[in-house]
Amino acid sequence: MKNLVRTIVIVVNLVVMMTVTAFAANVTQLIASGHDVYDQQPESYKIAVNTYFERVPNSVIVLFMQRGGTIHYTDTVLVGQQDVNGIYTFDSKQITLKATSNNNSWDEVQKAPVHELGHFIYHTTQPMFTDQMKADIRKLYNERKSYDNRCYNEDETFAALYSDYIKFNYRGGAHAMPSPEYRVFMQAEDLCQQMLSYSI
Ligand SMILES: [Zn+2]
């Protein structure tokens, strides 16, 4: 019985590895509408967004796809505000992106797909946060709310700092994490891994 269980575990792991490898994610693989808008963007945009996007663990991308998540590009103004680069719609798991922005920084435009994915991670894993994870995100929000206008609630703080976490490749060790609380992002990614459903 034990051997059988072990065999099943190995098979499941192999299936997951194969599934995960198949979706080494590029933004284009998740676009459900607005391909033309994406295609019109300069190469510098495509390289920049995909450089960041490809650093997101595949388990997060696969979970996003399993939950029906999709990316939609548009060239219209979002929620009536010129400086909004992206929206995440919780119910439909839709990420809507605008690749050009009149008022916002190029840096934020490049990070927008990962920022919106950060909202997916937060909304999906937050009910399973440990007390330490809850305390970490609360502390990051409280520290930044007075000077970082991206951080106006815990949800936005998570998404904004997740995009920084990916940009600076803290998990990959390219830079040291600015504070221990950044562990919450790695732990939330781990929760995504645990939430994957396996079919064998
Ligand atoms: Zn946001």
43-53 and 106-125 helices, crossing angle to 10°: 30
The residue among 197 and 129 whose pLDDT is bigger is: 129
Residue 81 phi, psi (nearest 5): -125, 125
- Nearest Cα residue to 98 out of 114, 115, 74, 81: 74
The string of pLDDT tens digits covering residues 70-92 is: 999 998 888 888 888 899 999 99
Full-model pTM: 0.85
The CA 116 to ligand 1 mean position distance, Å, reads: 6
| Chain centroid to CA 4 | 36
The CA 121 to ligand 1 mean position distance, Å, reads: 12
The CA 36 to ligand 1 mean position distance, Å, reads: 24
- Rounded average pLDDT over 101-119: 85
CA angle 58, 64, 70 (to 5 degrees): 115
The CA 153 to ligand 1 mean position distance, Å, reads: 10
pLDDT at 68 over 80: yes
pLDDT at 168 over 50: yes
The CA 156 to ligand 1 mean position distance, Å, reads: 5
Give the tokens for residue 193: 């891994």
Question: What are the residues facing 95 on neighbouring strands?
Answer: 71, 88
Residue type (1 letter), 26: N
The CA 82 to ligand 1 mean position distance, Å, reads: 15
pLDDT at 8 over 80: no
pLDDT tier at 145, thresholds 50, 70, 90: very high
